[in-house]
Every structure is written in structure tokens, then in C-alpha cells.
């Protein structure tokens, strides 16, 4: 089974990398790009066939390592 975890900064958390990207895009003439937020995508291959168990295990991984839940939120997508 494959799991895709998408991690984003929570609303209200300052994103200096996103600000730099938006500023650079405007400098390149893309005036419509006024804001950017940076996140990460983590793809995992799991030796698990049970969808519920896989969801639970990936949630544990997110809570323990993959996301800083104080400032980040995450979304899990499973594909068997």
C-alpha cells in the first residue's frame, strides 16, 4: 500500500520561505502571485494491506516524526 502525506504550515504561522518565493515571482513579473505557502509531500510504501491499520500507523508516524503538529497540519491519502 502507498501512503502520501501532505504537510502544511497552519494558518497564521509565518512562512518566510513562502514570502521569499512570492517576492521572487513578483520580481520576475508574475504580479498575480501575491502569496505563497511552502509545504512538503512524503510518499511511503507500506507493508500493510488493512486500510484502517495503515491509516492508524501513518497517523502515528505523522504525530511522532513527519509533522510538527504545533505549527503544521497534515493530510494522509492511502492507495492500495
Q: Where are the chain's structural domains?
A: 2-79
HEC profile of 25-64:
HHHCCCCCCCCCCCCEEEEEECCCCCHHHHHHHHHHHHHH
Q: Judge: domain 2-79, CATH 3.30.1280.10.
A: yes
- Report the distance separating Cα 3 and Cα 1, nearest Å: 7
- Report the distance separating Cα 7 and Cα 22, nearest Å: 19
10 Å Cβ neighbour count for 67? Answer: 21
Check residue 64 and give its pLDDT.
98
pLDDT, tens only, 8-67: 999 999 999 999 999 999 999 999 999 999 999 999 999 999 999 999 999 999 999 999
Check residue 53 and give its pLDDT.
98
pTM assigned to the model: 0.89
Amino acid at each position: 500500500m502507498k501512503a502520501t502525506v501532505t504537510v502544511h504550515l497552519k494558518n497564521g504561522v509565518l512562512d518566510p520561505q513562502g514570502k521569499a518565493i512570492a517576492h521572487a515571482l513578483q520580481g520576475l513579473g508574475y504580479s498575480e502571485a501575491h502569496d505563497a505557502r511552502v509545504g512538503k509531500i512524503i510518499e511511503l510504501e507500506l507493508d500493510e494491506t488493512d486500510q484502517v491499520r495503515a491509516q492508524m500507523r501513518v497517523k502515528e508516524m505523522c504525530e511522532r516524526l513527519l509533522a510538527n503538529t504545533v505549527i503544521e497540519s497534515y493530510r494522509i491519502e492511502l492507495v492500495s
